[in-house]
Amino acid sequence: MPIPGHIDPVPVPRAPTLREDGKVDLIGLPREAIRAALEEAGMEPKQAKLRAKQLWHWMYNRGATEFTAMTDISKTQHPWFAERFVIGRPEVVEAQVSTDGTRKWLLRSPDGQDYEMVFIPDADRGTLCVSSQVGCTLNCRFCHTGTMRLVRNLTAGEIVGQVMLARDGLGEWPSQPEGRMLTNIVMMGMGEPLYNFDAVRDALKLVMDGDGLALSKRRITLSTSGVVPMMARAGAEIGVNLAVSLHAVTKAVRDEIVPINRKYGIEELLQACADYPGANNARRITFEYVMLRDKNDSDADAHELVRLIRHYRLPAKVNLIPFNPWPGAPYECSTPERIRSFSSIIFEAGISAPVRTPRGRDIDAACGQLKTASEKKSRAELDRQAEEKLAALG
């Protein structure tokens, strides 16, 4: 079985870890897979087709977690389901609430792996930041999650399970398009979504299904650090909004802070953005740009960013992100004056460049802070890890 490399996704799907009780978790399975699981368990095909449709509705539309809640399935059949299947949710190890209302959950999988998700409420929306991997392999230098080793990909069930758990906590069952607190999803949690493409795609299809969680693809954003070969597939097979972790406009700086740039350079990345299916002025690509003091925040950097966006004729907006500090971080946040100057240059060029208000800093839930382990690492250790991963890129 291939081992996850420093820059390339695992080419062969890995079999999910079986539950100790031998039961099959139905969360994450599409309709046909549920039907197939029922048939494999011994149910007659015609009945399996009907029951799969009923299970789908109860799980993804009404949020049921117990078979006994399914009133249109015979009570005498409930024990048969309960003996063979489970409707899972991630285990909540810890739940924290920030002074600004941001919520962070530390979750644990059945095989004991920890990962995190964050809910950010605003006046006009509520955004859930969803993880795609346990750890990360990219080692972006400003990102706390990047200091973790990649343990494994999350399954489609573990990804969609985060959304369902949040809906549980917000009391938003059954599914309905109006009056939701959870209105948006961003694949910006732990991990690189395009290095777990199949599971992310399958999970988001469940989220977008009109008979299930029913969240519009226009309210879902997938963020990538620049896995260029997978970007066209993401546009064609998932079709959600695209965000790109750019963070620098020169090769030297981006090589340092986003090491994947050594494999897929800025020009190649921006061309992939220009080719992204469905991108237009109504569905602009978002460039995420963390503001690092004396590293990527000069007026010259801002002007070069404008030039690149114009050169590739990109329908784009820029999210400027004040750097969120963490123990051992090798950078400092740009000053408010520098951030304002940078933003003004981009705005004056006719490109939207809002400054993101930091949320959840007091519970380490802000952008770039997610990390399940709390150990502190020295600057020397961070430099050593970065050099190891850069060396692997050739």
388 is catalytic: no
The token duo for 52 is 């799969």
- 32, 40, 116, 288: which one is catalytic? 116
* Euclidean distance between CA atoms 58 and 200, whole angstroms: 22
Q: Which long-range contacts (CB under 8 A, 24 or more apart) does 342-350 make?
A: 342/291, 342/297, 342/299, 342/301, 342/302, 345/299, 345/302, 345/303, 345/306, 346/302, 346/305, 346/306, 346/318, 349/306, 349/310
Give the DSSP H or E segment for 19: none
Token pair belonging to 132: 């795609």
List C-alpha distances in Å: 56 to 81, 185, 198, 231.
Answer: 14, 21, 20, 30
> Per DSSP, which regions of the chain are E strands?
24-25, 85-86, 91-97, 103-108, 114-121, 126-129, 133-134, 152-153, 184-187, 220-224, 241-245, 285-291, 316-322
- State yes or no: is 116 an active-site residue: yes
CA distance to 22, 51, 53, 182, 254, per residue, from 43 (Å): 18, 9, 14, 36, 55
The full length of the chain comes to 394
Q: Which of 136, 140, 273, 367 is catalytic?
A: 367
Asked if residue 174 has a cis previous peptide bond (ω within 30° of 0), the answer is yes
Q: What is the DSSP letter of 101?
A: S
Q: Give how far the C-alpha of residue 122 lies from the chain's centroid of Cα atoms, to the nearest Å.
A: 19
Amino acid in the structure at residue 209: D
Count of helices and strands (H, E) across the chain: 11, 13
Give catalytic residue positions: 116, 367
